[in-house]
Amino acid sequence: MSVYTLKNVKKIYNQRNVALDGVDLKVQEGEIMVILGPSGSGKSTLLNVLSGLDYPTSGEIYYYKEKLNNKDEEALAEYRYHNLGFIFQSYNLMPTLTAFENIELGKTHQNDCDIEQIMRKMDLIDQKDKYPYQLSGGQMQRVAIARSLIKNPKVIFCDEPTGALDEKIGKIVLEKLQNINETQKTTIVLVTHNPSIAQIAHTVVKMNSGKIVEKYKNNKQARASELRWV
């Protein structure tokens, strides 16, 4: 079943900068999709449009059977609040909140997840009362992952999640994402410029100049721990 369906989606900035040029795409439920491309290829724009952070200029986007184009800002906020998790390159933790509280920030009212349980899963239980400035890069990214997981999202969007990490820590983070995908069947859409990360994907999408130039199924997924960084 498709979580997302994009039909001829275009995004044009300032009436001349074409960031997305007629993209057609389907994201299947429970898969890891890696979107590859150099800087300026439109991959981040695609992520923004998929996640409701931005509106397409034209075309249609469906989340399951629900059309996202028609939703106003408040409705999109609701959609993100209840369904999506986000992981950024620069962690984006609140500096005045502890690790525990940063995860709590992602909680929704309906959620029954126990924060401490998630922290144990992420090997963060000893950092519970620490502030971001007291954590390493890897720990901060794991807090960000925990924050995105706390609400049991259907989809997690990752924008260069390992961009600020070294290889070893980056692999640990990717390993965590793989585990989440396997155990909770969470759909993961991951944007990166690092081609080696594509090996963990079920579907790889390559972009250039706002178009999808290649899309293929990866039948032989690698474990994150086995990756070799390019």
Regarding 112 and contact with another protein (CB under 8 A), the answer is no
Given the complex with another protein, which of 95 and 230 has the nearer CB atom?
95
Q: Name the one residue in this structure whose structure tokens are 């890891």.
A: 32
Binding segment (CB under 8 A) for another protein, from list 74-82, 177-185, 198-206, 213-221: 74-82
* Position among 48, 127, 141, 203 found at the interface with another protein (CB under 8 A): 48
At 133, list the tokens: 């400035």
* Position among 21, 30, 88, 202 found at the interface with another protein (CB under 8 A): 88
Number of residues that bind another protein (CB under 8 A): 36
* Position among 37, 106, 138, 210 found at the interface with another protein (CB under 8 A): 106
Regarding 44 and contact with another protein (CB under 8 A), the answer is yes
Given the complex with another protein, which of 80 and 215 has the nearer CB atom?
80
Regarding 66 and contact with another protein (CB under 8 A), the answer is no
